Amino acid sequence: MRATDQRVSEGCIFCKIAAGKIPVERIAENEELLAFPDIDPQAPVHVLIIPKKHVTSLKEVSDWGLIGRMHQFAVKVAEQKGIAQSGYRVLINTGLNGVQTVLHLHLHLLGGRVMRWPPG
């Protein structure tokens, strides 16, 4: 691990969820990633996928393979949630204009209804 890598960010809500300090339905997980339901779902299926290791946002990613693995994980979770056939949206909000409100990298998986475009 490089000196700049952070494993846990103090006070980070998603780090606490990853560590099991805040209980959530652990929809799927492996050594690196965790999927759990969004607390304020915007669609019938709204799952968040996070790296267990703290990364603040897309801008701080150093291992770009992580982004691929998060998407591959989302595809599996979509199958598990029964929305693979009907389709879904995956997205990562970043920065102020992207309206990223939790500063721990997360991918949204949304499905179970037709998504609107353009997004608000």
Written in H, E and C, the secondary structure of 31-71 is: CCEEEEECCCCCCCEEEEEEECCCCCCHHHCCCCHHHHHHH
Beta strand pairing call for 33-37 and 45-51: antiparallel
24 binds ligand 5GP (CB under 6 A): yes
Strand partners, 51: 33
Strand-strand pairing, 33-37 and 28-29: antiparallel
* Residue 54, binding choice from ligand 5GP, Zn ion, none, Cβ under 5 to 8 Å by partner class: Zn ion
When CB distances are held under 5 to 8 angstroms depending on the partner's kind, the choice from Zn ion, ligand 5GP, none that residue 12 binds is Zn ion
| Least separation in angstroms between CB 111 and Zn ion | 25
Q: Which does 9 bind (CB under 5 to 8 A by kind): ligand 5GP, Zn ion, none?
A: Zn ion
- Kindly list the residues in this chain that would bind Zn ion in the complex (CB under 5 A): 9, 12, 14-15, 54, 104
Catalytic amino acids?
A: 106
